[in-house]
Amino acid sequence: MNQTERFYKIDQMLTDRGLVSFQDMLDVLEVSRATLRRDLEYMRTRLNAPIVYDRMAGGYQFDRGQPRVGGQYELPGLWFSSTEIHALLTMQHLLANLDPGGLLTPHVRPLMARLNALLGSADNPAEEIRRRVLVAGVGQREMQLAHFERVGSALLRRKRLLLVYHSKGKNERTEREVSPQRLVHYRENWYLDAWCHLRNALRNFAVDSIQHVETLEKAAREVSPRSVDAVLGPGYGIFTGKRVQWAELAFTPDRARWVATERWHPRQKGHFDRDGQYILEIPYADHRELIMDILKYGADVEVLGPDSLRRQVRAEHARAAARYRGRGG
């Protein structure tokens, strides 16, 4: 622990406890008596710390009523221990890799440089973390940083946006005026929940499908979080709506142990039956994304209900089989 770290420890002990004995400080800081005396003297004379010794109570404390001589008491600029720096560097690395295109990286790069300097260049901590910590992002889509920043800024400033939006499902390009409500990071990608003034309803927009965005100097329409959740929150996946149904899926014993530990939806229900199958019940409002997740389990999952979902899954199986036959499989 270096001197600056000790200053912060002493400050924290005095702030949290009010009164701290000399021996308690020694036990926490693990330094010699001479070193602790020098630290206390430095904090008093150089940093203007109002530290006093109370003989009756037998400890050190801050004298808040003591008249100030010289400048205001202030600790040196924020410093971290080596373990805290490693933790911060690791978090930044995870964020940069989880975030499509490393959208946060330009904003935290100055902090990264400072943390590297604090820890010391000899250890190359950031490079070591990048080598040792692997984050495999699956399904990330490219997006323009400028679009993301503009959307985020308007969201926080409560301004409307004018979007040129490309709907991949319909392959349509439309112009929308929207009031942003919240940004959602879901399955490696970013989505904007917003009130669409064209449709006069709540809609979600994939940020990577925004082709052009302008901030309008109009106040955004406010929609209560409860209303946003009611429309965009209850169903399975990112495609949601008010008409929610419950899917009941049965997974074979071979897959049950894995599925039982997975979180498909915050309101899911699950249990093992007598045969060792895992029965999973989840709410959904749009079958598209749910079917994609069902199909990846192949013969290891059976749709028990509702009947409409069973038919849709069978139809997707039939389409896949037809394509396979058409390729001469």
What's residue 121's pLDDT?
46
Helices then strands, counting H and E runs in the chain, come out as 11, 11
252 and 299: one domain? yes
124 and 173: one domain? no
Task: Supply the range of the domain harboring residue 188.
Answer: 145-232
Tokens of 227: 């209303």
Which stretches of the chain drop beneath a pLDDT of 50? 68-70, 121-122, 236
Question: Which of 232, 265, 293 lies at the terminal end of a domain, its last residue?
Answer: 232
Flag whether 75 is in a domain. Answer: no
Flag whether 138 is in a domain. Answer: no
Flag whether 68 is in a domain. Answer: no
Q: How many domains, the chain?
A: 4
Nearest Cα residue to 161 out of 192, 129, 121, 186: 192
318 and 267: one domain? yes
Flag whether 227 is in a domain. Answer: yes
Question: Which of 232, 260, 289 lies at the terminal end of a domain, its last residue?
Answer: 232
CATH number of the domain bearing residue 192: 2.30.30
| Cα dihedral 234→237→239→240 (10° resolution) | -10
What's residue 122's pLDDT?
42
Residue 72 burial (10 A CB sphere; 0-12, 13-18, 19+):
exposed
Flag whether 74 is in a domain. Answer: no
Nearest Cα residue to 203 out of 174, 216, 158: 174
Q: Are 294 and 319 in contact (CB under 8 A)?
A: no
203 and 159: one domain? yes
173 and 207: one domain? yes
270 and 311: one domain? yes
What's residue 302's pLDDT?
95
CATH number of the domain bearing residue 26: 1.10.10
What's residue 221's pLDDT?
96
Residues 6+ apart with CB under 8 A from 116: 89, 125, 126
CATH number of the domain bearing residue 287: 3.30.70
Instruction: Determine the Cα angle at 41 with ends 40 and 42, to 5°.
Output: 90
Flag whether 203 is in a domain. Answer: yes
151 and 227: one domain? yes
* SS percent in the chain: helix, strand, coil, step 5: 45, 25, 30
Flag whether 240 is in a domain. Answer: no
Flag whether 73 is in a domain. Answer: no
